[in-house]
Amino acid sequence: MSKIIGIDLGTTYSEVAVMEAGGPRILENAEGMRITPSIAAVSKSGERLVGLLAKRQAVTNPKNTIFSVKRLIGRKFTDPEVQHDKTWLPYDIKQSDTGGVEVKMGDRWYKPEEISAMTLAKLKADAEAKLGDKVEEAVITVPAYFDDSQRQATKNAGEIAGLKVTRILNEPTAAALAYGLNKQKNEKIVVYDFGGGTFDVSVLEVGDDTVEVKATGGDTHLGGDDFDKRIIEYLVGEYKKLEGVDLAKDALALQRLKEAAERAKHELSVSFETEINLPYITSDASGPRHFLMKLNRAKLEELVRDLIDRSVGILDKTIREAGFAVANINEIVLVGGQTRMPAMQEAVKKYFGKEPHKDLNPDEVVALGAAVQAGILQGEVKDILLLDVTPLSFGIETLGGVFTKLIDKNTTIPTAKSQVFSTAADNQTSVEIHVLQGERPMAADNKTLARFILDGIPPAQRGLPQVEVTFDIDANGILSVSAKDKATGKSQSVRIEASTGLSKEEIERLKNEASQNAEEDRKKKELAEVRNNAENLIYVSEKALRDAGEKVPADVKDAVGRKIQNLKAVKEQSDPGVIKNAIAELSAEIQKIGASAK
């Protein structure tokens, strides 16, 4: 059974976690980060970008970069929040046919749930890559104040992304779960969540099998970003006073200052003084200018004191609304990166007269709690068992005779892994699945376990058909391999009994060979890769020539044609350098098609 993941779908950032070995763990995304920006964009070249990549182009593509869509999801267009957010969000927002909200990205209008689905789809794909297994179900968190329509829309976003949403969970409840606070009956818990852009307070009461939300409060436009802004304003103001230069007018200087302000804020959570040192921040008639200023914790606290006080005011009001006195509250949980600030922790502690929970990473605590909920739904089973491992890796042969591993050696069984492959030629209607075992990079050097053919793939351009290959080794070490064409659903499979199929000596021999032949293998693999690149380029170039048709002058066509022939001639040679040169020549030539077609 595949794992249920827990997702904290945040306004600015999202995180994914999963239960593993009895505890929740954050999964890193494809970029190696534990948090993923909740941003989607259509780049100026028409490409769809999600997460960090979308963020990296936001400055120059504000109209088509959709962030903070959580502020809009499931709301009516006439909602005062939407009307307010419309004034500052840089992208276009309109009323949908049903009275909801639509946002414009590229040349199309999208529902907020479609945008959220893009973030969720990335989280799902990255989690699958990390886990090496399909992910089909998720627990997604939402703010406690979300109404039915907002919850339903979030659920729909999950479904659009291909996830069955097993549970929509309140963010404060998730935070409480992460700390294991759901076990003490009748406890009253306050969750103080100071995020990047929003502030939420929730009062919870633990019941028999439930965690009830007693009251919620907050400010949807108060967050850590406001702290950064205050610091930047202060630094810009001081610099103007001292040096007479307005850095606010220099976009690049401001960017550097913004980063430095954020860094200073973080540093002042652990030290009492920091220096902001930005040489060559700008230049004017008198030459280069530098930025050097000290900032201490007391000054920072003075700059944001009113914001912290405001949050405590909201905290007090919310607890009263719940019908509780401060003394009734048993536990306090801090959530959100800004709660690392000592002055904020101090303010909360002073208000309650007791220490809040702050051991878990406040950025991750909601996702961790979502994973705990997923674990509860999945029904974690614990027992002692002895299990086996696979002594060698398993995989299949892919283009150029390369051995692509699906299951690494020493993986404990039973286990399963799947990966999607495609065709290597246009209109290819069948693929041969060559199942291999071994450690060498080239297929020919490993042991063949089975070969089978999946046919009936509808003719299509190469690279388009999706053939999902799944390797499953059961507790008895029996390997089953299946291949499925995702378009037609047609599948073929083979069962390989006693899957190691090798004696101990053979295994040792293969392992040794692998290490001895590492260098030679690397060369072979490089050659295979270069040849694959060459074939791809030939294919793309021929297609470009056909597509461009009469728009391209004959001399350019001829030149490209000659380079294609040249590459075809050399691609079977054994020196990768020669092939690489021919690739570079053709690449250079092919760009002229683009240039002359304009």
Contact residues: other proteins, CB under 8 A = 1, 20-22, 31-32, 43-45, 49, 53-54, 56-57, 59-61, 251-252, 255, 278-280, 283, 288, 380-385, 387, 389, 410-415, 474-475
d(CA 65, CA 504): 57
Cα gap 249→260, rounded to integer Å: 17
Query: Looking at beta carbons only, is 231 or 260 nearer to other proteins?
Result: 260
Q: Which of 182, 203, 169, 176 is nearest to 314 (CA)?
A: 203
Closest to other proteins by CB, 18 vs 579, is 18
The nearest distance, CB 200 to other proteins, in angstroms, is: 30
Q: Which is nearer to other proteins, 37 or 400 (CB)?
A: 37
Q: 3-class secondary structure for 23-56?
A: EEEECCCCCCCCCEECCEEECCCCCEEECHHHHH
> Which is the catalytic residue, given 3, 55, 70, 358?
70
CB 588, min distance to other proteins, A: 13
Do residues 439 and 510 touch, judged by C-beta distance below 8 A?
Answer: yes
Residue carrying the six token digits 């990335």: 122
SS3 percent helix, strand, coil of the chain, rounded to 5, is 40, 25, 30
Point out the catalytic residue in the list 85, 126, 137, 193: 193
| Whether the Cβ atoms of residue 172 and residue 153 lie closer than 8 Å to each other | no
Nearer to other proteins, 525 or 568 (CB): 525
Lookup result for tokens 């490089």: 526
**Residue 8 annotated to the active site:** yes
Pick between residue 51 and residue 369 the one whose CB is nearest to other proteins: 51
Q: CA quadruple 27, 31, 35, 37: dihedral positive or negative?
A: negative
Question: To the nearest whole angstrom, how small is the minimum distance from the Cβ of residue 102 to other proteins?
Answer: 25
Q: Which helix (H) or strand (E) covers residue 309, if one does?
A: helix 297-321
Q: φ and ψ at 323, to 5 degrees? A: 85, 20
Q: How far apart are the first and last CA of the chain?
A: 53
Q: Is 171 a catalytic residue?
A: yes
Tell me the CA distances in angstroms from 16 to 117, 177, 368, 513, 567, one per residue in order.
14, 15, 8, 40, 45
Instruction: List residues bridging with 434 in a β-sheet.
Output: 451
- Residue number with CB closer to other proteins (401 or 414): 414
Residues 66 and 57 sit within 8 Å (Cβ to Cβ): no
Based on CB atoms, which residue is closest to other proteins, 222 or 235?
A: 235
One DSSP character per residue, 467-496 reads EEEEEEE-TT--EEEEEEETTT--EEEEEE
What is the distance between the alpha carbons of residues 66 and 512, in angstroms, rounded to a whole number?
53
Q: For residue 414, say if its preceding peptide bond is cis, omega within 30 degrees of 0.
A: yes
3-class state of residue 540 by DSSP: helix
DSSP, residue by residue, 230-277: HHHHHHHHHHHHHH---GGG-HHHHHHHHHHHHHHHHHTTT-SEEEEE
How many residues can be counted in the chain? 598
Beta carbon nearer to other proteins, 361 or 411? 411
Q: Which is nearer to other proteins, 29 or 423 (CB)?
A: 29
Residue 121 beta carbon to other proteins: minimum distance, rounded to whole angstroms? 18
Nearest distance in Å: CB 240, other proteins: 22
Tell me which of 102, 113, 137, 171 is the catalytic residue.
171
Q: Kind of pairing, strands 40-42 and 23-26? A: unpaired
Contact 141, 7 (CB under 8 A): yes
Q: For residue 224, report the phi and psi dihedrals to the nearest 5 degrees.
A: -60, -30
Query: Could you give the CA distance from residue 201 to residue 352 in angstroms, rounded to a whole number?
Result: 14
Q: How far is the CB of 415 from other proteins (least distance, A)?
A: 6
- List alpha helices for 322-385, DSSP H: 342-352, 365-378
Distance CA 332, CA 348 (A): 9
In the complex, what is the shortest distance from the CB of residue 383 to other proteins, in angstroms, rounded to a whole number? 5
**Cα–chain center distance at 213:** 30
Task: Pick the catalytic residue from 3, 8, 55, 155.
Answer: 8
Residues noted as catalytic: 8, 70, 171, 193
